[in-house]
Structure formats: C-alpha cells, structure tokens
Chains A and B, each alone.
Chain A
Amino acid sequence: MKQDIQHTEKFLKGLTTLTGLPYKKVQQYVKGNNPLNILEHPHIMEPNEKQLEKIGLLNEFIASYNILKIYESNEKVTLNSSTLAGQYFLALLGGIKDKERFMVAFLDSGNNIIETKTMSEGSIGQTAVYPREILKYALACDCNAMILAHNHPGGSKNFSPEDRSLTQRMVDIFHPLEIKVLDHIIVGGGSYTSMAERGIVPCQSKGTANYEEIALGAIPVEEKRNRFKNTHSR
C-alpha cells in the first residue's frame, strides 16, 4: 500500500514535470481515480494545447517502448497462437482509449512478423478501413498470412457485426491470393478477444473481392442493449 502511494507520487511528479499539468490538480484527481486515466483520457484534466500535445507524445512513446520491449525479448516475433497475437496487439493498442486504430501484422510462412502497420485511425467510435491499402502492403512484403487487430475505445471486447463483416471481406480479397487471414483481435478494457480462439474466422471466400472502404466501429448490439438497460434502471 505504502509502495503504491510512493509509485503514484513518482508518477505524478514525472507526469507534471513532462507535461506541465498542475500538480495539485492531478493530485486531487487521483485521490478517487486511477492515475492512468490522465494518460488515457487526457481531456479530464482540461489541458491546454501544449499540455495535450505532450500527453500525446508521452502516449506514443509508451506504445513505442512496449513494442521495443517485445522486439528485444525475442529473436523473432512469431505469432503462432491466438494468445501471442492477443498479447502482442494488447501491447500496441491497450493504451489507446480516445480513438480507434486498425492494425495488420503481415506474416511469413513461419508466422514470423514481416511488418506490422497501422492501416487506419479514426474517432472514438469509428474508423474507415481501406482494403486497397492493405492489399498494397501485403503484396509489397510478400506475406503468407496476416492478423487483423483493432481496439474498441469503449472497452467492449465483443465482435460487432461490422467486425465480422470486415473479416469476411478481407478473406474474400486474400483467400484467392493464397494469403491467409489467421485471426482478428479486438482489444478493449485492458484485455483482448480473438476470433480464432472463438472459432469464427472465415476460411473461405463468400463473395467476390470488394475494395470499397469499410466503416468499422459500430457498437455491438449486445452492448447497445446493455447501455439502454443501464440507463433505464437509473
């Protein structure tokens, strides 16, 4: 407990030194809240433009540091299980709670990562995915397979119909090219869900390849119902 308080104190001192946020204000906030909220939802501290920019840089640095920790701990980054893929994307997407980001890991025949790219980034509830761009990168790096991933800033780990439909669209495009879509990972609420783990990754094309942009990020139906219930019960 004492160690926890010391950690928080150091965190706050570091945060205020780097961003210019007022110490008293953040100290007051963390009395009843998780200190990480300040990084994940910076607007709660009503920062000015410069402070917001510094928090953004700090978040980017933490994400980059997490990737490097993974790179440094392995000779090769091999995503040969849904657990490894989930942990990998949790490190990359776990801290992003103010926007939606869609990423793709392009893999070789041994499921080693050739390259991981952010393919699109949108607002808190929606992002647009451009299959043409994904195809361009997949062909450029001569990949054998890919793993899709995106975050749900709202914290939901459920697959929305749009998430499933996007996965099918990717399979429709890449199956004829013999590029496998191995998994689709959803990161939300500090954890992840894997489509492969649930056995719902499509393995066959259902229709012809469609390269139109895909809107992603609608709230899963179940979550909508729950939200309504919660509101109603108040």
Chain B
Amino acid sequence: MNLEELKEMEYIKCVRLLAELIDLDADTKEKIHKCFQSMGIKNFFLHLESVDLSPETYEKLKSIKFIIETVDEKRGRV
C-alpha cells in the first residue's frame, strides 16, 4: 500500500471519528473529506474559518482545534 492510499484510509477514519464525535450529517462529512484531500488535515484546522461550514459545526471543530493545539504544545514540551 503506498502513502497516498494510507493517507486516504486515515482521512476516511478521521472523518468517521469526527462524525461520531460531533454528529455530522452526510453532506458535511463529504465536504470535510474533500477538504482533507485537497488541503490536508493540518491546513484544514489552520484555515478552519475559511471552510464553508454551519456555525454549529464550525464551533465544534474549533473546540477540537483547541484540544489539538494544547496536546501538541504540552506533549511537544515533554
């Protein structure tokens, strides 16, 4: 399996986890999946405000962004 396939598998997993975590509908799942594929997950969270999402989904994703940033920062320091 090459890197692209591995990455795609992980994107699918990530979208599924997000859907379970913040109750996404099918359209939003697809939109987020496409964003991951085109800009990457890191850029997706970096430019969250530029993605066309409902205010409710945006707020929940922003919560995830804060958690990721804190985990990155605290674990990076160890």
Docked-complex contact B78 and A68, CB < 8 angstroms: no
Pair B3/A69 contact, Cβ less than 8 Å: no
Count B-side interface residues using an 8 Å CB cutoff.
33
**CA gap between A95 and B6 in the complex, in Å:** 21
- Please pick, from B21, B40, B59, B70, the residue contacting A8 in the complex, using a CB distance under 8 A: B70
Contact of A7 among B3, B40, B73 (CB under 8 A): B73
Contact of A34 among B40, B42, B59, B74 (CB under 8 A): B74
For residue A22, CB closer than 8 A to chain B, the reply is no
Tell me the nearest residue of chain B to A67, going by C-beta. B10
Contact status A39-B64, CB under 8 Å: no
Main secondary structure of the interface of B (DSSP, over half): helix
Please tell me if the beta carbons of A62 and B60 are within 8 angstroms of each other in the complex.
no
Contact-size category for A = 35 or more
User: Which residues of A have CB within 8 Å of B35?
Assistant: none
Write the chain B residue with the least CB distance to A19.
B21
- B22: Cβ under 8 A from any A Cβ: yes
Which chain B residue lies CB-closest to A53? Answer: B20
Assembly CA distance A62 to B10 (angstroms)? 12
Cα separation A57 to B59 with both chains bound (whole Å):
18
Given known A-B contacts A18-B21, A72-B42, A36 and B64 have beta carbons under 8 A apart? no
Assess the B3–A77 pair: CB atoms within 8 A: yes
CB pair A65 B60 closer than 8 Å: no
Nearest 5 Cβ contacts at the A-B interface: A14-B63, A190-B78, A11-B70, A14-B66, A10-B66
Q: What are 14 contact pairs spanning A and B, CB under 8 A? A: A11-B70, A14-B66, A14-B67, A18-B64, A35-B74, A36-B71, A61-B21, A71-B7, A72-B40, A75-B3, A76-B3, A94-B75, A115-B6, A141-B1
